[in-house]
């Protein structure tokens, strides 16, 4: 999940521990600066359906790590991003200081925070089916008889392979987050928890030196069976489960991670370890600067001159459509599951997508307008305010965006929809098109080639290009827009004709070599800007129906009718069009 999604926050839900009134008052006061509803609940109370809105809720815990764990149980299954304000004594998990609450919230509402996924685990066995974020432990109850047995034996298998019989006081199966809890005290390895999908098996007080911690992919299934009664505990919670001998438990990675929000005001993982564990060897040294939150393309004005505008625009375009695409896809899944009204969800997600695009692009290109077919979305600067005086602001420079292209498809649960945009001066500078339903993004800079990658990934992916098809009989031709006449009726031969219902996606298909040409009727420049940028970089062609070169510009124009192709096919398309 990308932090840019937080600009759509409308609800804030806080779980507060006893004695946290001062921090809650600071939270309440900080909320006055943001257009969101705050709900404060005592830790332990359930989260009611009316307390949160899917895709528009931010969670907060105020307390120690115990309160934070309660927040995990409430927020993680609902995909609610959250963070912890530390008013406790340890604070491995809740790391925001109450004094930093107001500026941290401002970062989040501007979409400048980062969100990392924390792997959770799922435990299934006799009398238990639950999830945790730290660990599940299997321990021998202390005998009432002082000379009674104090060692248990646990049979362990992972991924279908037998690991052995662990002999000692017990066993912990931990997540990367739990590596600094029970597992650490048993000499388990420290794991960086952000976006880390692993589980580790650590013996507790084993009397065999050959047993060492084992780290596994979270998709592995860990099976644990004891030869005597044991106590089973998840995240150190109460009540503990008393399991009988030979009871078998299965532990795997949970499907839904916890989405943790971090800002520049939070301590980094290793800085927190050094402070909390009192490593102390460099205790008096000044703290190193914390790396900036992940914001691809979100550079300050001072760094604008160090990178070519086209490269910055390409990175910003890719990050923006990926961030908006995550929100679009979450809403799309709700429609498919029957959890939302399609009409209402479509209108709302288009608005949210536009806000995310504007926030992300405003950090990379402050002062440059973001315009869609419906008009200006918002012109923002790096601090979230309106700005017309910025390094890149220019009358010739504008972002043309389609926050949700293929609206009808989206509302019907059809995957052919897209988020698209391009930076334009005298033609496209750079652009990107994301297809959220299939987790794909295409991005390109001016004459820099087209890359295809995953929306969820931070890497660009692989290079793609157009086909070399030159014969209409062998071509796949897409027809898009709302024509008054059938645009494919004049095509000779027998080309394959398809209609996607998304002009931006159709142009992206040509740039990626999945189709050979497209006939566009009555489309808006903002709708096709991203696709035209891709096609230009891939070596394709876009012209008017009479063959005049088409270049996107800032000037407002009405609906357009265009012909787009891989290049070799363009002459045949123009001849067919002019002969009709």
User: Tell me: the pLDDT tens digits for 473-492?
Assistant: 889 999 887 654 555 555 66
Confidence check: pLDDT of 436 > 70: yes
Edge-to-edge strands of the sheet including 370-372?
A: 375-376, 370-372, 398-405, 418-425, 427-435, 440-445, 450-453, 462-464
pLDDT level of residue 389 (50, 70, 90 thresholds): very low
Contact 446, 429 (CB under 8 A): yes
| Averaged pLDDT for residues 39-45 | 93
Model confidence pLDDT, tens digit, residues 564-580:
999 999 998 888 876 65
Catalytic residues: 65
Quick one: tokens of 289? Answer: 């600067």
pTM of structure: 0.83
Count Cβ atoms below 10 Å from residue 568 Cβ, excluding itself. Answer: 18
CB 90 within 8 A of CB 64: yes
- Contact call for residues 319 and 296 (beta carbons, < 8 A): yes
Residue 225 — pLDDT band, cuts 50, 70, 90? very high
Could you tell me the two tokens for 461? 């992916």
Q: 173-189, pLDDT tens digit by residue?
A: 999 999 988 898 888 99
| pLDDT (0 to 100) of residue 458 | 65
Kindly report the average pLDDT of the chain as a whole number.
86
Using CA atoms in the order 239, 243, 247, 252, what is the torsion angle rounded to 10 degrees? Answer: 30
Question: In the structure, what pLDDT confidence band is assigned to residue 121 with cuts at 50, 70 and 90?
Answer: very high
Tell me the mean pLDDT in the region 61-87: 93
Q: What is the torsional sign of CA 211, 213, 214, 220?
A: positive
Nearby residues of 558 by Cβ (< 8 Å), 6 or more positions away: none
Give the lowest-confidence range in 344-348, 351-355, 491-495, 524-528.
Answer: 491-495
Q: Under a CB-based contact definition with an 8 Å cutoff, are residues 227 and 155 in contact?
A: yes
Q: Could you tell me what percent of the chain has a pLDDT over 90?
A: 59
At residue 263, does pLDDT exceed 80? Answer: yes
Greatest Cα pair distance in the chain: 100
Rounded to an integer, the average pLDDT of 147-172 is 86
Domains of the chain: 3-117+259-276 (3.40.50.10330), 121-253 (2.60.200.30), 312-458 (3.30.540.10), 472-579 (3.40.190.80)
CA distance 178 to 81: 19
């Amino acid at each position: 999940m990308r932090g840019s999604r937080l600009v759509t926050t409308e609800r804030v839900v806080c779980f507060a521990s006893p004695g946290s009134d001062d921090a809650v008052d600071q939270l309440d006061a900080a909320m006055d600066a943001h257009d969101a509803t705050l709900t404060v609940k005592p830790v332990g109370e359930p989260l009611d359906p009316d307390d949160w809105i899917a895709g528009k809720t931010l969670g907060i815990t105020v307390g120690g790590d115990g309160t934070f764990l309660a927040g995990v149980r409430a927020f993680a299954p609902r995909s609610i991003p959250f963070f912890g304000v530390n008013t406790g004594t340890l604070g491995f998990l809740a790391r925001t200081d109450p004094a930093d609450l107001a500026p941290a919230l401002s970062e989040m509402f501007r979409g400048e925070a980062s969100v990392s996924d924390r792997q959770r685990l799922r435990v299934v066995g006799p009398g238990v089916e639950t999830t945790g974020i730290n660990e599940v432990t299997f321990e021998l109850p202390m005998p009432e008889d002082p000379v009674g047995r104090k060692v248990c034996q646990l049979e362990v298998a992972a991924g279908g392979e037998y690991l052995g019989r662990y002999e000692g006081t017990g066993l912990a199966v931990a997540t990367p987050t739990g590596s600094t809890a029970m597992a650490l005290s048993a000499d388990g390895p420290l794991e960086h928890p952000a976006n880390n999908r692993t589980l580790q098996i650590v013996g507790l007080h084993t009397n065999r030196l050959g047993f060492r911690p084992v780290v596994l992919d979270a998709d592995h299934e860990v099976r644990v069976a004891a030869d005597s009664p044991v106590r089973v505990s998840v995240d150190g919670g109460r009540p503990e489960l008393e399991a009988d001998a030979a009871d078998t438990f299965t532990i795997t990675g949970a499907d839904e991670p916890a989405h943790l929000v971090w800002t520049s005001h939070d301590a980094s993982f290793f800085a927190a370890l050094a402070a909390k564990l009192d490593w102390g060897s460099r205790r008096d040294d000044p703290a190193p600067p914390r790396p900036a939150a992940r914001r691809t393309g979100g550079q300050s004005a001072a760094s604008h001159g160090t990178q070519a505008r086209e490269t910055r625009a390409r990175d910003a375009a890719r990050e923006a459509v990926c961030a908006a695409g995550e929100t679009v896809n979450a809403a799309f899944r709700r429609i498919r599951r029957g959890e939302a009204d399609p009409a209402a969800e479509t209108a709302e997600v288009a608005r949210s997508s536009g806000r995310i695009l504007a926030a992300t692009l405003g950090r990379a290109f402050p002062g440059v307008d973001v315009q869609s077919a419906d008009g200006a979305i918002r012109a923002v600067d790096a601090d979230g305010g309106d700005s017309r005086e910025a390094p890149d602001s220019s009358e010739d420079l504008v972002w043309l965006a389609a926050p949700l292209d293929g609206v009808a498809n989206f509302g019907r649960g059809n995957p052919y929809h897209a988020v698209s945009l391009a930076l334009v001066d005298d033609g496209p500078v750079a652009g990107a098109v994301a297809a959220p339903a299939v987790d794909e993004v295409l991005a390109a800079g001016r004459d820099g080639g087209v890359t295809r990658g995953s929306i969820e990934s931070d890497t660009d992916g692989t290079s793609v290009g157009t086909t070399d098809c030159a014969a209409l009989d062998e071509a796949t031709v897409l027809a898009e827009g709302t024509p008054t006449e059938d645009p494919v009726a004049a095509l000779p031969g027998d080309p394959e004709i398809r209609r996607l219902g998304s002009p931006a996606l159709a142009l992206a298909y040509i740039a990626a070599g999945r189709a050979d040409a497209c006939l566009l009727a009555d489309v808006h420049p903002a709708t096709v800007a991203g696709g035209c940028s891709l096609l230009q970089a891939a070596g394709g062609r876009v012209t008017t129906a009479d063959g005049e070169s088409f270049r996107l510009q800032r000037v407002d124009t009405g609906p357009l009718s265009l012909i787009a192709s891989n290049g070799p096919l363009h002459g045949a398309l123009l001849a067919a069009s002019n002969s009709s």
